[in-house]
Amino acid sequence: MSSASGRKRPDAGLDTSNIIDGPRKRARESTAAANHFEQSNSKSPSPAPTPQPKKLTLKLKKQAGGSSIVGGEGKNLAVFEQGMKIWNAVKHAKDPSGRSLAFDFLELPSKKAWPDYYVIIQHPISLKEIKNKLDNGEYPSTRAVKADFDTMWNNAKQYNVPGSGIWIDADNLHKMVQREFTAVTGEPADMEVDQPAPAEEKAESSVSKAPKTRPPALGKLLKMRLQKLYKMTDDEGRELCGVFMDPPSRRAYPTYYTTIKKLMTFNMIEKKIDRKEYESSQQFMNDVELIWSNAYTFNEEHSPVWEDAKILQARIVPYSRVGLTCALYPPTI
């Protein structure tokens, strides 16, 4: 037998060399175990209350007349809420195809690109200005909010040709605001919008002492726009306005004068500008449109003259959508 037989074998693989003689202090239970033991031998404490979100409250002050305003901001709360309902209804209005009706009214046109707008329109306003006034608490009543909307629609109708895209959008939105105003206030709109008064009558009624004369800068602006129009050419560099400068020869085209009931050319328009006959750009644009209409009436479809008129009109129409009928060339901003 080997010498290993005299050595005491450890029990179950336990190394006795690590055993310490004498009493050993009881190991301290872990905090978690102790807590668990204590909770299991005592009544369960009620759970900690779930923190509740703080309620936001508006400190209201009383202004003259007894209506409440938001403390420190000067907003009439009821006017702000009602005004924003109308504003949002206009902002998100769309036609059946999904096109925004408010796009042309979001902001005012550029003064650099459309200087005559600010000569003709005495009180320019857009959705941006109305929103700022609502945010700043500048409206004393919801009817005052509606009055600014009415001004915006009337501006568009005064400056644009009746029946044009933006004129129709303004008319539809005008009617919608009447309905929204009644819905949010319970008050009648007290305004007819189906047949708006001519721009001249509106100007006289709102400013009775204002002289009934065109602004002195209008003629110069209209001449400037004609010069831009005259520079339009086709792909080969040919001026497109040449055939529309003067009426055709009576001897060469006698049927023209029996077919066309009202003559109009660019030289005729220039003479009207010199005589100060135009009181608004809308009147000017009506004559420009008459030139195209006469060309379509007398000339065969897709003939050279018909095509020239079509090209010129196509360059004008896209810019009339921004709210100005005198947009005879792309804006330079």
Backbone angles phi, psi at 10, to 5 degrees: -65, 145
Specify the pLDDT at position 107: 94
Helices 266-274 + 218-230 axis angle, to 10: 160
Tell me, what's the pLDDT at 75? 52
Query: How does pLDDT run across 63-88, given as a tens digit for each residue?
Result: 443 444 443 344 589 999 999 999 99
Pick the CATH number of 60-206 from 1.20.970.10, 3.40.190.10, 3.90.1150.10, 1.20.920.10: 1.20.920.10
If you average pLDDT over every residue of the chain, what do you get? 74
Q: Quick one: CA torsion of 50, 51, 52, 57, rounded to 10 degrees?
A: 170
Is residue 320 pLDDT above 80, yes or no?
Answer: no
The H or E element spanning position 166 is helix 165-185
Q: Residues 234-289: pLDDT tens digits?
A: 888 889 999 999 999 999 999 999 999 999 999 999 999 998 898 877 788 899 99
Domain edges within the chain: 60-206, 218-320
* Confidence at residue 118, expressed as pLDDT on a 0 to 100 scale: 86
* pLDDT at residue 5 tops 90: no
DSSP secondary structure letter of residue 16: G
pLDDT of amino acid 175: 94
Segment 175-184, tens digit of pLDDT: 999 999 999 9
Q: What is the pLDDT of residues 11-43, one digit of tens each?
A: 544 455 555 555 554 444 444 444 443 444 444
Other Cβ atoms less than 10 A from the Cβ of 226: the count is 19
| CATH match of 218-320 with 3.90.76.10 | no
Containing 203, the helix (H) or strand (E) segment is helix 199-206
Better-scored residue on pLDDT, 217 or 81: 81
What pLDDT, on a 0 to 100 scale, did the predictor assign at position 42? 47
Q: Which of 59-63, 73-77, 159-163, 289-293 has maximum average pLDDT? A: 289-293
CATH topology agreement for domains 60-206 and 218-320: yes
pLDDT of residue 130: 97
